[in-house]
Structure 1
Amino acid sequence: MSSSPNRRRLVIGNWKMHGTQAGNATLLDGLRSGASMADDRDVAVCVPFPYIPQASTLLQGSGITWGAQDVSMHAQGAYTGEVSAAMLADFACKLVLVGHSERRSMHGESDKLVADKAVAALGAGITPVICVGETLEEQQAGQTKDIIARQLAPVLALGAQKLAHVVLAYEPVWAIGTGLSATPEQAQEVHAFIRDRLAGQGSAHVRILYGGSVKPDNAASLFAMPDIDGALVGGASLKAQDFLHIAAAA
């Protein structure tokens, strides 16, 4: 399937549980100074909850947007430790990660819960970046497409109207923080599979990002694949020049 000119490239930095106010200021200043590199694509950072106000202040007017790494499926109530989509919207968050593999594995998040969180984000006008991916054991057992199909099922069930406002991210668990990365051809095969599933719902235009040890030296080859519309960047997003290099490669 050829790349569509209607799918604008998107590069998102996921800081995970990293950051200090002083360190963030330096990083965000570096991103601001290089923001002109991102004029023809979308660039965003997903930061820890406490630093969302700082990101919203320092990135205002830069062309780089900001978001969160998780969201509650609940609108409000007695849910200690949870953060609602409305709270994120209060700080002008434009997107939020849902179903990241670390949330699925460490916090037991189900495919249904991930879809429910996506719906909560959409209800507040926030784009959910829905993550899917298989473990090394599942990949070695040839189960990649079965796992992806299972994870996608409740998301696809949301229907074309909601799917039009989501982003998907394929992140092979075996390539996250390991230094390993799927080859461009491996990633493309899974992205094409996801695209076909989306097409079955009339949503082939949805952007699909690749996440898993994306670095300046492999970004261009990944982005050359027709169904890879950008990247969800982990460790490299903590260094301004590395992240901007990846954004430029998109």
Structure 2
Amino acid sequence: MSQHPHFLKSFDAALQVLRQNFQQMGNMTAENCVLATSAYLAHDEARALEAINHDLDIDETFEQLRSDCFDVLLRFQPVAKDLRLVMGIEHAVGNLERAGDHAKTIARHVIATPRQMLAPEDRIRLDEMAALVARTLGKSVIAMTDHSTEAAKQVLAADLRVDAYRDAVFDATIVDLQRNAAQARDHIGRILVAVALERIGDHATNIAEEVLFVSRGVAPGATRTGSGIG
């Protein structure tokens, strides 16, 4: 027996609101990733505080979106792909919130430590890494809102590039520690930022896996391969 047209229209409207708010949260999180990293590179405490304050907005949006997802599940009791979509958004929202926490960690590091000495190549590497992570996170959000498995695959592939940036930071830091152990604090700070950015990239990958779950019914975590393309 088919469902009442008004019922379907109400569900579609609620789902559209979820998508819009999810995309807004994704944009906020990606922008805060770049803001926090730029604060680190410039050792700008005012910018770092701005990133920390923005994380409060991300957390508030997370709580509201999570509540809205549960409300849609209870009111409309969707099934099959519609159920997977609402569940996928709810899980993806959690990944955005945790990605925001890693950006906040970078910002807090700026405030907690004195200005650090960074070589030009280190600045370029971290700046490029932050930009890539932000783009990847943004693409994962688009993949979810547009039901795009192709965009999801691009996110999975980009994760290899994010890991390569992290490895490059680690390798350079080991060399610098051997040459100048007196600046160990500065070198470790670089690693902290690289790890935080890499984990933000991991959350983008988790969202991409949720997209494949919504589209194919394949459980997240079972979609990644060595090539980064599920």
Structure 1 length normalisation: TM-score? 0.29
Structure whose alpha-carbon radius of gyration is higher: 2
Judging by fraction of residues, say which structure has more helix.
Answer: 2
Structure 2 length normalisation: TM-score? 0.30
